[in-house]
Structure 1
Amino acid sequence: MPQDADRAVSADRGDSGGWGVGGVDPRGGATDGVGSGRGDPAYGRPAPVGGAEDVPTSGGPENPPEPSDRGGAGTRRVEGDWWAVAPGVEADLAQESPAAGPGSTQPDPTPEPPEPPGRGRTADHDQDGPTQDREGADPDPAPAPQAPRTATRVDIPTLPPAPVGFVGSGPPTYDAEPTALPPADPDELDDLVADTVLDGARYGACTLRAVSVRGDSARFRGEPRRDSLLTARFGTGEQALILVAMATGARATPGAHRAAAEACHWIGRAVGRSHARLAQDISAARRGDLKSGLHRLTDRSLGKLRASAVEQGTDPEEYAATLRCLLLPADPDCRIRVFFGVGAGGLFRLRDGEWHDIEPRITDATGEPVVGFGSLPTETPEGDRLTINLGIPTPPSPYEPAPEPPREPFRFRASVARPGDTLLMCTGGLADPLRGEPELCEYLTERWSGSPPGLAAFLADSQVRVKGYADDRTAAAVWEA
């Protein structure tokens, strides 16, 4: 009878109405006053609220009472339960729970399996109970394969080429890395010159990169670097003026590196003392004033270099150097770039993917002298010349000083930069291979078109070697934003 089954379950609870020993759930849970598994979520039914009186009971045989797994005669010990192996608990449970006989009316302790979800249920919501995952559902159909898409220039980014060690017909004769150090004097350690000098800055709308590297020939022979580099900023704010000066000492002469460093020192001092006036002339585009003023400063600096040679007892022709300078205003609204100097080298501009040689040309006077108005004719009507040149050189006069050898002409150029331009000023060590090896121009075009490189990348690009060119290299490049 169902009533007898309810009495048997109530007797197993004890006088206190709790579970197990002393009315405490052996598994650690609080008692809820319900003697069946209807309130256990494992059976798929929600727990009743308000105790045993709120639980609906049925007296028919269609709804027999469900077994309990919380103690009593119908308790099943499951492998892995902590209370099943706790000392003392198993003995107490065995003492309070009598064994079920053959005629016992205790229901089958085996729980009923949960009902499978109906057809009207979904995997996310169950209408009759808690949420359950739908099993056996058809998987989503695989998407139809698409035809491969051909990549375009928009999909493939344009990257600069990988750095290379050399270009041209073959590798150069000398090693790529330094071999021997220059000799040193313990009493003149300030006279030592580093193998490589690297510098950079960004002011206004331009980014500057500058480098000076000892040539392969000097590295192999242990000679000092004859090129010298100076980068300096005079003034503050938008009125500041950036100077980049580079000089090259005479070849195969002692102290050539000192002459180059001294030339940069003198021109730097002269420009620094006049930087305010020079910045104003550049902003106002006074080309004539700039050319005449910078010409005087250059002659004065090279004159001091010749005077220093006389003081040292050295021939001024040997203690000489070429000088090339670049002035960059810090004002972002001013895009005038001024170049000036004396001696060989190169000035190039990379615009729209092409290199342009914008070095100021010094042309020699050609043609016959122009005869002035009213001068005597050079020959008679019969064709006889009035003078005869016997080709005898005129001896120098002992009362006049010997004429000085012709000096290098002064070079000047003021140009307006455009966004995307790259201006390159360099000594002959880099200008000669740029003019003589087209592959070097193509390589630098791909490397320097676009955003300015970092210092390390600029150093690597400046050291790309070409067979037959082993002199020192000094270069300063300006990228316009």
Structure 2
Amino acid sequence: MNQQGGKPTGHEDDWWGQLYGDAEDAGPSTAPDSLDDRYASAADAVNRPDTVPAPRSDPDAPAREAPAFPAGLPRPPGFTVEPAPVPVEAPAPGSAPAPGSAPAPVPAPVPAGEEPPPPPAGDRPARALDYVGAGPPTYDPEPTALPPADPDDLGDLVADTVLDGARYGTATVRAVSLRGDSARYRGEPRRDSLLTARFGTGDHALLLVAMATGARATPGAHRAAAEACRWIGRAVGRSHEQLAADMRAGRRGDLKSGLHRLTGRSLGRLRASAVEQGVDPEEYAAVLRCLLLPADPECRTRVFFGAGAGGLFRLRDGEWQDIEPRVTDTAGEPVVGFGSPPAETPDGDRLTMDLGIPTPPSPYEPAPEPPREPFRFRASVARPGDTLLLCTSGLADPLRGEPELAAHLRRRWSGSGPPGLADFLADTQVRVKGYADDRTAAAVWET
């Protein structure tokens, strides 16, 4: 290539003129001295915005191409001219899909008054519900106020929510206890207490889930519930080997009488504790409900026992079954110590036996019969695919009173396996207007 005064000659002359015009080279101060400098100058000139032609307003006019690099010069590294982006318009709503794309499936309409069909096995519907029923609940869905704290007794504080879970043999357990909407709003502690424990090891281990609810509108309700769970946990733990053996052997009668005795003893100690504290035993009381699960995969016996109201449900073949033992199904005897003086103190001192004969305070007015809760017991054999749900009244009442809640949990828990802890918490806290008590629940998924 020939050069004259820093300006190319020959067939490159037209290209150079497009970039710099026909001005003569004024010397080293105004023009590049080397070929590499000229390459850089040419690249800068092509990439400058003012050298790129503006688009024509006439859409039918041919587009003006950017100047090409001279054929006689090798293209330096990094010298590129990017093409203009091509705008892509989104299809308008309601327009036909693009050629070759499958149209989105449209679900079939559900007739009014009917429930949607259950999801296929393995497909868990997304939980996007805060509440079910005719209208939103009165209180906020999240905690508002914390319970008052005593700086000298911080161990008395109760967490808003407790969540636990495990898997042994063919059973997967999920358990939760959460403060009700009313207590969250008023800054009251959770009256429900939850205990999950494993006694023993290997296939001979025994799982206990205990839940208790303290008396309403009493200052020590949460303490009474926690103490009831600890007492029954201690009693079951000391007898877990015999209880597990009775469950594997199917000795229902022995289980019923033994657990009746342990329940009465635990609640009797609770009343003795109330006497020691100088508290009215009727106020320092608790409803107690328990579930026993053997870790042996060959034993599918599930045992419920306790005293007081609540719920025991079974989800089988996509349908809820209310299997809470009725009074006629129980042993027919009141729980020893429930509603009567304790049989012994926590220290083991024997007290006068209560024969159930009320002593009138005067010869003219007979004393009212103390309230007594019957012992509740049920032993059942689980099937693969079953879901067993034990809960306090805070969840049992809305389950029985609001069909939409039962239908929602049925869709969530049918044919999709056990949920994770977070999903289980979300499922159990779906609210219903008019039900604002604490909720405690334990569910067992069978495989």
* TM bucket normalised to smaller: 0.5 to 0.7
Q: After TM superposition, where is structure 1 displaced by more than 3 Å over at least 4 residues in a row?
A: 77-82, 145-159, 394-398, 401-404
Partner Cα distance (1:172, 1:155) in 2:
31
Partner Cα distance (2:129, 2:419) in 1:
15
1:480 aligns to 2:446 (yes or no): yes
Q: Give the deviation of 1:480 after TM superposition.
A: 0.2
Partner Cα distance (1:150, 1:252) in 2:
54
Identical-residue share of aligned pairs (%):
79
Write out per-residue CA displacement over residues 110-159 of structure 1, whole angstroms, 9 at most, x where no aligned residue: xxxxxxxxxxxxxxxxxxxxxxxxxxxxxxxxxxx999999999999844
**Could you list the runs of 5+ residues in structure 1 that have no partner in the other structure?**
1-76, 83-144, 366-393
1:469 aligns to 2:441 (yes or no): no
User: What is the one-letter code of the residue matched to 1:480?
Assistant: E
Larger radius of gyration: 1
Q: How does 1:188-337 map to 2 (within 5 A)?
A: 188-337=153-302
User: What is the one-letter code of the residue matched to 1:205?
Assistant: T
Give 2:22's aligned residue: none
1:256–1:320: 8 Å Cα contact kept in structure 2?
yes
Give 1:456's aligned residue: 422
Partner Cα distance (1:199, 1:358) in 2:
24
Write out per-residue CA displacement over residues 69-112 of structure 1, whole angstroms, 9 at most, x where no aligned residue: xxxxxxxx974499xxxxxxxxxxxxxxxxxxxxxxxxxxxxxx
Q: Give the deviation of 1:412 after TM superposition.
A: 0.1
Equivalent residue of 2:380, what SS?
strand
2:173–2:442: 8 Å Cα contact kept in structure 1?
yes
* Distance change >3 Å, CA 281–CA 161, structure 1 → 2: same
Write out per-residue CA displacement over residues 169-200 of structure 1, whole angstroms, 9 at most, x where no aligned residue: 00000000000000011111100000000000
Q: Give the deviation of 1:204 after TM superposition.
A: 0.3
1:342 aligns to 2:307 (yes or no): yes
1:209–1:458: 8 Å Cα contact kept in structure 2?
yes
1:352 aligns to 2:317 (yes or no): yes
2:204–2:241: 8 Å Cα contact kept in structure 1?
yes
- Whose RCO is larger (CA < 8 A, sep 6+)? 2
Q: Give the deviation of 1:327 after TM superposition.
A: 0.2
* Distance change >3 Å, CA 305–CA 395, structure 1 → 2: closer
Give 2:379's aligned residue: 414
User: What is the one-letter code of the residue matched to 1:465?
Assistant: R
TM-score (norm 2): 0.66
Partner Cα distance (1:200, 1:453) in 2:
10
* Distance change >3 Å, CA 81–CA 244, structure 1 → 2: closer
* Distance change >3 Å, CA 405–CA 239, structure 1 → 2: same
Give 2:27's aligned residue: none
TM-score (norm 1): 0.61
Q: Give the deviation of 1:161 after TM superposition.
A: 4.0
User: What is the one-letter code of the residue matched to 2:238?
Assistant: R
* Distance change >3 Å, CA 159–CA 302, structure 1 → 2: closer
Equivalent residue of 2:327, what SS?
coil
Partner Cα distance (1:240, 1:435) in 2:
34
User: What is the one-letter code of the residue matched to 1:467?
Assistant: K
CA RMSD of aligned residues (A): 3.0
Between stretches 148-157 and 168-177, larger displacement belongs to 148-157
Count of residue pairs brought into register by the alignment: 314
Write out per-residue CA displacement over residues 397-430 of structure 1, whole angstroms, 9 at most, x where no aligned residue: 76xx967513100000000000000000000000
Equivalent residue of 2:242, what SS?
helix
* Distance change >3 Å, CA 186–CA 395, structure 1 → 2: closer
Q: Give the deviation of 1:163 after TM superposition.
A: 2.9
User: What is the one-letter code of the residue matched to 2:398?
Assistant: P
**Could you list the runs of 5+ residues in structure 2 that have no partner in the other structure?**
1-70, 77-99, 108-116, 331-358
Give 1:169's aligned residue: 134
2:122–2:417: 8 Å Cα contact kept in structure 1?
no
1:163–1:461: 8 Å Cα contact kept in structure 2?
no
